[in-house]
Chain A
Amino acid sequence: MNNSKSIAVGAVMLCGLFSASVVSAATTLESVKEKGHLQCGVTSGLPGFSQPDDKGNWTGIDVDTCRAIAAAVFGDAQAVEFTPLTAKERLTALQSGEIDVLSRNTTWTLTRDASLGLNFTGTNYYDGQGFLINKELGVKDATELNGATICIQAGTTTELNLSDYFRSEGMEYEPIVFDTSEQTVQGFAAGRCDVLTSDRSQLAALRSKLNDPSSAEILPNTISKEPLGPVVRQGDDQWFNIVKWVLFAQINAEELGITSDNVEEMLKSDNPNIQRLLGTDGDMGAKLGLPDDFGQKVVKQVGNYGEMYDRNVGPDTPLGLDRGLNALWTEGGILYAPPLR
């Protein structure tokens, strides 16, 4: 340990600049309020999750997660600034304090949760890894992929899942790892690989970038669990609770039938659960260090979870994804938020 530590000292010397800007005595909530906006880390462009449009407005389910937090803290969903991050940069950006929350379809794993000084606050999208394959090959199931060449985008948990899957099935494969999703699709289109693998939510979007989308199909297999969710720095429990409960509030709102359209009427509701969520009764917000009507602001400005889903990735969007696992527990999914009381 001593030895490796002394090497670490040498290593740190080269990269010591990381440390220059990180020390902050104030809590994250205080510093966010002082800045007047939330600094949120997102992907640089992933349809349905976070993508800037031609006017520079960010949209996507990860973006809306950030907006919901801003609505809860400031009562203004627009009080967010976005930092586009690559997969390699994202965790360091959060660790170093460059951003307040990371909402960049990041998979919740033990290593990331336990050893990197980070906390995952929940899951805003349950995903899983799948395969996109050229129809000509006539493969109908992932178990027929022995010996295939597979295009992968770097910087995800994808490579490990793929290797685990092929090893457990006793099959072999050749990985070609590209830096960006653009090059991954190009490699697949040029015939460098038989299969393209990524999270299922992405495969549909990637397929739509092919010259002839109907030449490829998505295999039915899902080979991994990818719970994607927001991440915060470890050691600030108040901020951790805020980010966690904003998402829970959105899920509870869907369960209680509160939408951005009917939230005004719901203010008159006699249902104590609705009253607590909207802040007409109780002091739920104060316990988190937020205004009591934070739930009302979130639902009014961003919507409940279902609205957020349908707007960005649902069946009526280009991604056209069914709710599947992301449906409420009462509707066959696994979305289940603890009670807001």
Chain B
Amino acid sequence: MTKQTVDSRPAGPKPWYDPRIRSIFFQFIAIALVFWGGWTLIDNTLSNMESRGISTGFGFLKETAGFGIIMSLVPYDSTMTYGRTFVVGLMNTLLVSAMGIVTATIIGFIVGVARLSSNWLVAKLALVYIEVIRNIPLLLQIFFWYFAVLGSLPSPRQSVEVGGSFFLNNRGLYLPEPITQEGFGLVWGAVLAAIVAVLGLRAWAKKRQLATGRIFPTFKVGVAILVIVPAVAYLAAGAPLEWDLPALKGFNFGGGITIIPELAALWIALSLYTASFIAEIVRSGILSVSKGQTEAAKALGIPNSLTLRLVVIPQAMRVIIPPLTSQYLNLAKNSSLATAIGYPDLVAVFMGTTLNQTGQAVEVVAITMAVYLTISLSISLFMNIYNRAAAIKER
């Protein structure tokens, strides 16, 4: 039967009229054009650079950098290589981005919820915060936090002092640095044990609640375990911790931990700015949850705080996460404004001084772009995984 039908039909269309073959043909042409374009750019650049006697390649990363950097999370001095300056800049960028993402999220959630508060004053304060902060350019805010706050702080010799161990002046905030002595491993072990114990407690409490309906105060007991167990271990090991106190030496303070004003200004500005956007995203997420859900929870006698935590927020997260990812990406990229106030991030250290000293513009710019792309894609990937976990499961 089938065979008959096929036979009775006229021969298929000519290949160049066949939509399937056509689409493959045009896609092939498009890919070939893209590759040809890319190859031409590379070839043109390389041959031009060669004919002009401009050295290319990444050998410069092994040369001695020879310049100083004020803040570094990895050991660095000026006798190290340009490759090392790249690592220093990258770590500083990651540090301020990570700090910014954490605080922006916390402030953003608080302000977003406050914006919906039934308390008139709280709601209006949140509104004013959002509208003021998100409508002023970020660079101006960074300058404000840097120069306005810096100008009002005293010089190192007139530092604000707390108990002889905390100092605040226009060179930064100086804190005592804990230096672990022999035997501190015991404390780390206790911290680990406490975490395991709390996780176990949580699982047990949940199981019991499902079985009997009785609620165990997991949070309070958990915090108590996390504090008491390491504290006991610390005392048992004979308090194996010494403090390196900052002290005025010559022009500046030495010793201890220093939080430089550049980091503080950038961190505050990035956090507050991004938080104003996150607050609006949180508000939209919460409003997207149908009112019936809250009413149903109320009808069941669930208290307000639990309704928010167990009913509203989990459903709101589905709306919040995708735009939240964009804000995290913006924050990471905006951190490159650091260069304006002298915070040694990747753009300042690597695309600034290193580029200027080596003159290898093409390579340095390409590396920097690749790094920001990688950071952004990583954040995106992580948030997408989280989104998949939080999304509605269709069964």
Contacts and interface: CB of A to CB of B under 8 A. Distances in A.
Interface string A234-260: 110000000000000000000000000
A155 B351 CA distance: 10
Most buried by A among B79, B151, B170, B342: B342
Contacts of B359: 91, 111-112, 115-116
Contacts of A11: 362-363, 365-367, 370
B52 A117 contact: yes
Contacts, number: 178
Interface string B335-363: 00001111010001001110111110111
Nearest to B357: A160
Given A15-B365, A154-B348, A235-B53, A163 B78 contact: yes
B178 interface: no
Contact of B341 (A183, A233, A235): A183
B339 A154 contact: yes
B150 A14 contact: no
Given A190-B150, A235-B53, A175 B45 contact: no
A19 B58 contact: no
Nearest to B154: A191
Contacts of B67: 159-160, 162-163, 175
B155 A5 contact: no
B366 A176 contact: no
A15 B362 contact: yes
Contacts of A160: 66-67, 357
A14 B369 contact: yes
Interface string B353-394: 101111101110111011000000000000000000000000
Contact of B356 (A10, A87, A164): A87
B215 interface: no
Interface of B: 38, 41-42, 44-46, 48-49, 51-59, 66-70, 78-79, 147, 150-151, 155, 170-171, 249-252, 254, 261-262, 339-342, 344, 348, 351-353, 355-359, 361-363, 365-367, 369-370
Interface of A: 1, 4-5, 7-20, 22-23, 87-88, 91-92, 95, 111-112, 115-117, 137, 145-149, 151, 154-157, 159-160, 162-164, 166-167, 173-179, 183, 186-187, 190-192, 194, 233-235
Given A111-B358, A190-B147, 12 more contacts: A5-B57, A8-B363, A15-B45, A19-B44, A92-B361, A111-B359, A146-B250, A147-B250, A179-B352, A183-B342, A191-B155, A192-B171
